[in-house]
A = this chain, B = another copy of it.
Amino acid sequence: MTSPRSPSTYAESGVDRSAVSTALSELLAAVRFRPPPSHGRPLDAPGHYAGMIRIGRETIAVTTDTVGTKVLLAEELGRWEEVGEDIVGVNVNDLASVGARAAGLVDTILCARPDPTAFRAIGRGIDRGLRAAGCALLGGETAVVPSIVRGTDLGGTAFGFFPRGRAPVTGQRIRPHDLILGIPSNGLHANGFTLVRKLLGEAAVDLRRPREGARTPLGTELLAPTRIYSNAADALAGRTETRGLAHVSGGGVRNLARLHPGVGFVLDKWPAPPPLFEFVQRLGAISDEEMYQTFNMGIGFALVVVREHLSETRRRLARAGAPDAVPIGHVERGTGVTIPNLGLTYGGYS
């Protein structure tokens, strides 16, 4: 779906998505083992945000993700608390996308040298994230491997469960006529930083000064931690009118297509992207098409609900810390994701 006309694309910035998916297909093709039921019963939800497995009476959901190259910005600015919080955010938001309630997190820190000050800040950030998600830190791994990493890599794995009576929200019940709500993001979150860093470097932008029209230094604005949608999703998951939940992470709006291959997601009410996104777009002369499939463009979490329950759903979201949820579109017959105002059409998720 990458436009050949766009001057800056993700592939050009060093991330070739098709090379990743080819290699990953090779790996997955080689993993054939299916365990006996005495070790739990995996649920089938291919391509979804979380793996799930039935253990006794419980269904456990698990997600794993890293903060990616946003850590390089943290290092450059010597600020670690935000990316510490991102370790939690990038994972619990994926759990929230299947309607699981966060229970535990383990972190993984790979570094060339363990800096106590940075580690304390990372700890503060993790603590903030855990509070927002209601999640416990259950362990972690710290590996000092200067021969493998330059600087630091931050990642984690989170798992959650479905409170009694709640089933996973996979999106399969989504139907035409459903409404799509969006909850605003808190900036770029932890996606697109390979591209952003390349553009900032090329333009020799000073991260310690605000961009035009802003008051915070650009570096601080870019580092803002991923908003955590756990409470919002927890308030809606398990209700019959809640048909789909989607973390708008890497892949941008295309994430919606993960929820159901047989319906069209029409985003005709997407709000104007915050100025930070316009700044990034101008910096790289990036096409709209690339922007909306790389960044969250101002909406970090999407919820698909039965139209008749709109007001009630918004009240619930407001009580769960998301009074700023807004309608961003609806579901139609068709496939993929379209943004009619911009003339954009995305096929299925790849």
Q: Which residues of A contact B (CB under 8 A)?
A: 14-16, 19-20, 22-24, 26-36, 38-40, 42, 50-53, 55-58, 60, 62-66, 68-69, 71-72, 101-104, 106-110, 113-124, 126-127, 130-131, 134-153, 155, 157, 159, 161, 163-164, 194, 197
Question: In the docked arrangement, what's the CA distance between A28 and B142, Å?
Answer: 12
Majority secondary structure of chain A interface residues (helix, strand, loop or mixed): mixed
Judging by beta carbons under 8 Å apart, are B66 and A126 in contact? no
Shortest Cβ gap from A92 to chain B (Å): 11
Give 9 closest A-B pairs by Cβ, nearest first. A51-B138, A30-B123, A23-B114, A27-B123, A157-B157, A51-B139, A40-B103, A26-B120, A23-B119
Q: Could you say which of B30, B127, B137, B157 contacts A127, with CB atoms under 8 Å apart?
A: B30
Judging by beta carbons under 8 Å apart, are A40 and B161 in contact? yes
Q: Could you say which of B22, B56, B126, B148 contacts A27, with CB atoms under 8 Å apart?
A: B126
Q: Could you say which of B16, B28, B103 contacts A123, with CB atoms under 8 Å apart?
A: B28
Question: In the docked arrangement, what's the CA distance between A120 and B25, Å?
Answer: 8
Q: Which residues of B contact A150 (CB under 8 A)?
A: 147-150
Tell whether A148 pairs with B63 under 8 Å between CB atoms, given A24-B114, A24-B119, A127-B31.
no
Q: Could you say which of B24, B35, B113 contacts A136, with CB atoms under 8 Å apart?
A: B35
Most buried by B among A19, A126, A155, A157: A157
Question: In the docked arrangement, what's the CA distance between A38 and B160, Å?
Answer: 11
Shortest Cβ gap from A129 to chain B (Å): 9
Tell whether A20 pairs with B60 under 8 Å between CB atoms, given A28-B123, A72-B148.
no
Question: In the docked arrangement, what's the CA distance between A92 and B183, Å?
Answer: 38
Q: Which residues of B contact A16 (CB under 8 A)?
A: 144
Residue of B nearest to A39 (CB): B134
Tell whether A42 pairs with B149 under 8 Å between CB atoms, given A31-B126, A155-B108, A157-B106.
no
Q: Could you say which of B110, B146, B152 contacts A153, with CB atoms under 8 Å apart?
A: B110
Residue of B nearest to A43 (CB): B138
Question: In the docked arrangement, what's the CA distance between A330 and B29, Å?
Answer: 46
Judging by beta carbons under 8 Å apart, are A55 and B60 in contact? yes
Tell whether A142 pairs with B20 under 8 Å between CB atoms, given A26-B116, A119-B26, A149-B148.
yes
Question: In the docked arrangement, what's the CA distance between A64 and B138, Å?
Answer: 10
Q: Which residues of B contact A53 (CB under 8 A)?
A: 103-104, 136, 138
Judging by beta carbons under 8 Å apart, are A69 and B39 in contact? no
Shortest Cβ gap from A43 to chain B (Å): 9
Q: Which residues of B contact A29 (CB under 8 A)?
A: 120, 123
Judging by beta carbons under 8 Å apart, are B120 and A30 in contact? yes
Judging by beta carbons under 8 Å apart, are B135 and A39 in contact? yes
Q: A14-B144, A30-B123 are in contact. List 17 more A-B contacts (CB 8 A).
A: A20-B114, A20-B144, A23-B115, A27-B109, A27-B126, A30-B120, A31-B137, A33-B130, A38-B163, A51-B106, A64-B107, A69-B147, A69-B148, A141-B155, A145-B194, A147-B197, A149-B150
